[in-house]
Amino acid sequence: MKNESPIPAPLPEEEDDFLASVCAGLRQQPKSIPPKYFYDAHGSHLFDLICTTPEYYPTRTETEILERHGAEMAEMIGASSTLIELGSGSATKTPLLLRHLADDAVYLPIDICEPHLLQSTQRLQTLFPALKMHPLCSDYHQLPAHAIKHHAGRRQVVFFPGSTIGNCTPEEAVQLLKTIADLVGPNGGLLIGVDAKKSTETLNAAYNDAAGHTAAFNLNLLRRMQRELGAQLDAEQFAHHAFYNETHGRIEMHLVSQCRQEIRLNKEAFRFDAGETIHTENSYKYSAEEFKKLARIAGWHLKSTWHDEQALFNVHYLSLSAIEPLKLAR
C-alpha cells in the first residue's frame, strides 16, 4: 500500500552556534573550525561536485560495493526496521539499500543542511512511495534526544556511508560509535563506509582535484562566515591546502593565509601571519583490522565486510552482539 501522506516537516536542529564555534576555533593555536560548517546549501552543492571528479574515488567505489552487495546488506538490516542515515546529504547511494528493504521499513535521514535534506527525501519518497520517511534536520552528534522516542519498538540500524567517521579523531570516533550504540540499542546494527589506507599519491589527488571543486568547498567556509556572520576578511588571501599526514594516517585540509592579515568578527580581531593556517578537516583512513579494533572499543562486533577489487574502500556491518559469526565478502 502506498504511503499517500506528505513527507513530515523535519524536526528542528539542535541549537548550534556557528558564531561561537568559529570564534572559539580562531582563538586557538593552531586555529581550527569544525568541518560540519562546510555544509550550507552551496557547500553541499560543491561536495556533490567533488564526488563526480575522477580523482575522488570514495563515492564511486562505495557505490559499486553497495550495488553489488546491497541485497546482502539489506538482509542483515532486516525487515520492519528503521534505517537511520547519518549525514544523508543528497542520499545518492541510499536507493541501493532501500530497493531491497520491505515496504514496512522506515527511513529516517538526518542532515545538518535542511534544503538538501528536504530535496533528497522528496526524491526518495517518489522512488519508494510505500516507505515511510521522516527527515530530521540535526547534527548527528546530538541524535539520542530525537530519534529513539519516535521509533521505539522497532529495530534500528544506522547507515553511515561516505567514510564520514574519518572526520573524527580516533577518540572522537569511539565516542560517536558509542553514541550510535546507545541510539540503536542492543538489538540494533550499524552499516558504515570506511576509507582504507592507500598510496599517498592517490590520497593527495583525491583532495586536490584538477577542477578545483575541493578548493572551492574549503574556501566557501570563509565566504559563509562573511554571508552569515558578517565576518570582515579577504577570502582571496587564503588558499586551499590538503595533504596526507602519514604519521597520523589522515588527510588534513587547511586554509592557508597568503600574507599577514586579520579576520574581524564579533568585535574581535584574529591575526594571521603569512603561512598560518585554519585547520578545517581531518579524514582518517583505516585498514579493516584497524577499524575493527576501534569499533570493538566502542562495544561493536564486526559481522561482515565488503570491499572493492582494489581494496580502496570497505563497508562494514557491525552488531552489538558477539553471537553471529564473522563474514568476509567481496
DSSP assignment of 246-295 equals: TTTTEEEEEEEESSSEEEEETTEEEEE-TT-EEEEEEEE---HHHHHHHH
pLDDT recorded at residue 246 = 96
Q: Give CA 279 to chain center in angstroms.
A: 18
Q: What's the Cα-to-Cα distance from 232 to each of 81, 156, 270, rounded to whole Å?
A: 48, 45, 10
pLDDT recorded at residue 181 = 94
Q: What's the Cα-to-Cα distance from 180 to each of 23, 28, 44, 186, 203, rounded to whole Å?
A: 29, 29, 24, 11, 28
Interval 277-305 mean pLDDT: 97
Full-model pTM: 0.89
pLDDT recorded at residue 140 = 81
Tell me the β-bridge partners of 279. Answer: 32, 254
Three-state DSSP class for residue 242 = strand
* Domain regions of the chain by residue span: 57-199+285-328
Interval 2-21 mean pLDDT: 55
pLDDT at 144 over 80: no
Q: Average pLDDT over the chain, rounded to whole?
A: 90
pLDDT recorded at residue 148 = 55
pLDDT recorded at residue 180 = 93
pLDDT bucket at 138, cuts 50 / 70 / 90: confident
pLDDT bucket at 195, cuts 50 / 70 / 90: very high
Q: Picking from 38-47, 59-68, 108-117, 303-312, which range would have the lowest pLDDT averaged per residue?
A: 108-117
- % of the chain at pLDDT higher than 90: 80
pLDDT at 168 over 70: yes
pLDDT recorded at residue 147 = 55
pLDDT at 145 over 60: no
Q: Picking from 159-163, 267-271, 323-327, which range would have the lowest pLDDT averaged per residue?
A: 323-327
The DSSP 8-state label assigned to residue 235 in this structure reads G
Q: What's the Cα-to-Cα distance from 201 to each of 252, 286, 308, rounded to whole Å?
A: 14, 17, 19
What are the grid coordinates assigned to 65, written together? 560495493
β-pairing verdict for 189-195 and 327-328: unpaired
The architecture that CATH gives domain 57-199+285-328 is 3-Layer(aba) Sandwich (3.40)
